[in-house]
Every structure is written in C-alpha cells, then in structure tokens.
C-alpha cells in the first residue's frame, strides 16, 4: 500500500513534468485532470489463444465501467501485441506489455498510446520488473533447453537490450532495492530462486529444497516472500541468500499458488478457493475466505490479485472463448461479475 502511494505520487509528478515539457500550451492544465482515459482503474490482461488477434486488455474504471480491447481502440493501426500476452509492468509513465512470442509493446500507461515495440534479446519472455530505469525480464528461451534461460536487461531511456544468462527455468520476477529475484520452475522439477545484483549482474541461486517449486513471489516492505506448489510460504533473506522462515500450509490444501500480500494479509489460492492469513501468523486456517463457482475445472484462478482489500479472480473458461472476472470483498462477498477476453491471466492497477 505504501509503495503503491509512493508510485502514484511519483507517477503524478513525472507525468506532469513530461506533459509540461512536451507542450507549453498545457502549462495552464488544472491539477485535477486525469492523466489519461485509463488513469483511475485497473487492467485485465487477456492472454489470447494461438492467434495474435485474440489477445486483449480490458480496462475497468473506478466507476465500474469496462472498456474492452483498449490497446486496439487507442492504436487502431499498430501491429498486434504478439501471441500469448503474459504480463504488464509499469514505470511512472509507461506500461510494458510482454508477449510470449518475443516482444514487449510499450504504451503510455494512462492514455495507452503506442510508443514502441522492443523485440531484441527476447525469447519466450515471461515477466518483467524495473529497477533504476532498467527493466529486467525473464525468458524461457528455447523450450528444448533449461540451460539457456536468461534475463533481458532493457535500458528504458533508449530501449537498448542485453542478456544475463541464468540457466534455470525462469518464471516470475520481483525487485527489492537493487536486486531482482526470479522464481525457477522447469515444470515443477526445479526448486530454486535466483538473485541478481543489478549493479554487478552477479547471480546467486538459493535452493528451496527438493519438491519446493516456487510459483509466485511478492516483495512486501522490502521483505521477499515466495509460495511453493507444495504448500510452503517462505521468506527469503537476501543478505544471507538463505530461507529465513518457512510456514507450512496444511497439507489438505493442495496446489497452492497465486501469492499476494495486501494490507498485511497474505492471500493464496487452491482450486477455486481463496485462503488468507495474517503476515506473521504461524498457522493457516483450512477454511477458505471464499470459493467461487467455475464452469470449467481447468481455467480456475487463471488470474488472481488482491489490491486495497478487493480480491480479483480471472477464470479462463475453456481457453477457446471469453473468460470471466470477478471482484470479491476480503470477507468473501461477490462484488461484481464481468466478461473478460480470452484467457484472463492478470490484473494491473493504475
């Protein structure tokens, strides 16, 4: 939350600075004007199917109005964002949309106006994060090899790129201070996280123990937490590069994933259920906060986020038609039900 506010402040400052620079006539613009049509609300990323035209980004305004396919609306002539859009990450003014086919589309995060496309040093990219004006993006590289996986480093001033070879099967990524941490998960057989010092680009692996494949990572107040599919909630200590704490989630809760921390409450999912516990708790209740109805047992919880005490769930249905997304309160009350695009896999807040 604190971080969110900080980012928001920074965003406002930067955006105004840029606006005034780019156009002197705007000097008189009143302060209360939104930064763009998509300033106040959140995006639902719909990954799409095997065809590049099927992905989309849905915007939901604070007033609840939804706008489908905002990228296409704002940029009717731009090339498609790629195939299987995986992730969006932001800096103060820009949104970076990562497509698994090998590109990052850069747009203004508030107006969604197209800026550029980055396509060098990217091969099956997954997730990105920004540290000091540079983006770090995980790549699976060739599916035939687990030793070629790398992180792309993108200088966001000129979009030049380079690679840091890591070798593990890379997936999620998070940043704390000048370090970035990746979760490594070669279809469940890898069980480490890698820490990259962004100053030296030195890489250190931290073993989580056999069977403990991490599938989600959160940085909260400069503390790093990962969740494994085997039901372990771990805190990683980056000064000693070791596991600082492990909390065992009851074994009856299977296939734990989608770690989120919001207002000092830890959330995760199993099947169609959302569970929660207080940060610092030593036990986890087996009673879920909520269990939602899904038509398809297989596209359950495809996208998940908790933000400002609202739980967001994306359901991918059959992956061959529109999915759904839901908003729930943290006490499990359904707030809204909406139509998503194809394969809603994430929520991003503006």
Q: Which positions lie near another protein, rule CB under 8 A?
A: 51-54, 79-80, 82-83, 99, 101-103, 117, 119, 122-124, 141-145, 148, 187-188, 229, 254-255, 257, 271, 296, 298-300, 316, 318-322, 342
Instruction: Return the number of the residue (101 or 338) whose C-beta is nearest another protein.
Output: 101
Instruction: Return the number of the residue (57 or 141) whose C-beta is nearest another protein.
Output: 141
Counting Cα atoms < 13 Å in the Cβ hemisphere of 340 gives 34
- Closest approach of another protein to the CB of residue 136, in Å: 19
Q: What gap in Å lies between CA 55 and CA 51, rounded to an integer?
A: 8
Instruction: Show Cβ contacts of residue 193 under 8 Å, excluding neighbours closer than 6 positions.
Output: 181, 182, 183, 184, 205, 206, 208, 214, 217, 226, 236
- Closest approach of another protein to the CB of residue 118, in Å: 8
Instruction: Return the number of the residue (26 or 318) whose C-beta is nearest another protein.
Output: 318
- Closest approach of another protein to the CB of residue 158, in Å: 18
Among 106, 95, 105, 151, smallest CA distance to 124 is for 151
First to last CA, the chain: 13
What one-character-per-residue DSSP string does 223-249 give?
EEEEEETTSEEEEEETTTTEEEEEEEP
> What region does 143 belong to: left with phi over 0, alpha with psi -120 to 50, or beta?
alpha
Exposed e or buried b for every residue in 95-115, given b needs 16+ CB within 10 A?
bbbbbbbbbbbbbbbbbbebb
Instruction: Return the number of the residue (111 or 322) whose C-beta is nearest another protein.
Output: 322
- Closest approach of another protein to the CB of residue 66, in Å: 15
Tokens linked to 270:
């199993």
CA distances from 69 to 56, 82, 99 (A): 5, 14, 15
Please state whether beta strands 179-184 and 192-197 pair in parallel, antiparallel, or not at all (unpaired): antiparallel
- Closest approach of another protein to the CB of residue 341, in Å: 10
Instruction: Return the number of the residue (219 or 229) whose C-beta is nearest another protein.
Output: 229
Cβ contact 98:125 at 8 Å: yes
Instruction: Return the number of the residue (180 or 316) whose C-beta is nearest another protein.
Output: 316
Instruction: Return the number of the residue (217 or 342) whose C-beta is nearest another protein.
Output: 342
Sheet of strand 257-262, all strands in order from the earlier edge strand to the far edge: 257-262, 265-270, 273-278, 290-291
- Closest approach of another protein to the CB of residue 55, in Å: 10
- Closest approach of another protein to the CB of residue 119, in Å: 4
Instruction: Return the number of the residue (99 or 243) whose C-beta is nearest another protein.
Output: 99
- Closest approach of another protein to the CB of residue 305, in Å: 18
Give the CA angle between residues 175, 176, 180 to the nearest 5°: 40
């Amino acid at each position: 939350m604190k971080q969110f506010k900080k980012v928001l402040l920074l965003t406002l400052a930067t955006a105004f600075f840029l606006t005034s620079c780019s156009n002197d006539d705007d000097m008189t613009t009143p302060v209360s004007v939104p930064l763009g049509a998509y300033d106040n609300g959140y995006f639902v990323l719909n990954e799409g199917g095997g065809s590049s035209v099927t992905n989309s980004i849905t915007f939901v305004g604070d007033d609840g109005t939804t706008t489908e396919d905002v990228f296409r609306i704002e940029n009717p002539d731009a090339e498609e964002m790629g195939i299987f859009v995986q992730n969006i990450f932001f800096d103060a003014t820009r949104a970076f949309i990562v497509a698994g086919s090998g590109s990052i589309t850069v747009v203004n995060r508030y107006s969604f106006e197209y800026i550029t496309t980055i396509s060098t040093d990217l091969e099956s990219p997954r997730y990105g994060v920004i540290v000091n004006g540079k983006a770090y993006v995980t790549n699976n590289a060739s599916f035939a090899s687990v030793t070629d996986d790398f992180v792309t480093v993108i200088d966001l001033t000129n979009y030049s790129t380079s690679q840091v070879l890591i070798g593990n099967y890379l997936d999620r990524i998070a940043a704390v201070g000048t370090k970035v941490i990746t979760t490594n998960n070669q279809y469940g057989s890898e069980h480490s996280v890698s820490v990259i010092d962004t100053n030296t680009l030195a890489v250190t692996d931290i073993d989580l123990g056999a069977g403990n494949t991490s599938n989600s990572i959160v940085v909260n107040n400069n503390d790093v937490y990962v969740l494994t599919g085997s039901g372990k909630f771990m805190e990683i200590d980056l000064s000693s590069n070791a596991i600082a704490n492990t909390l065992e989630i009851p074994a009856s809760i299977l296939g734990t994933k989608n770690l989120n921390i919001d207002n000092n409450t830890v959330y995760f999912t199993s099947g169609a259920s959302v569970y929660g516990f207080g940060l610092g708790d030593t036990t986890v209740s087996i009673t879920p906060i909520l269990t939602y109805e899904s038509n398809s047992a297989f596209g359950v919880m495809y996208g998940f986020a908790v933000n400002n005490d609202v739980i967001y769930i994306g359901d991918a249905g059959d992956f061959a038609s529109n999915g759904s997304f839901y908003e729930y309160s943290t006490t499990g009350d359904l707030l809204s039900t909406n139509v998503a695009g194809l394969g809603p896999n994430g929520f991003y807040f503006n």
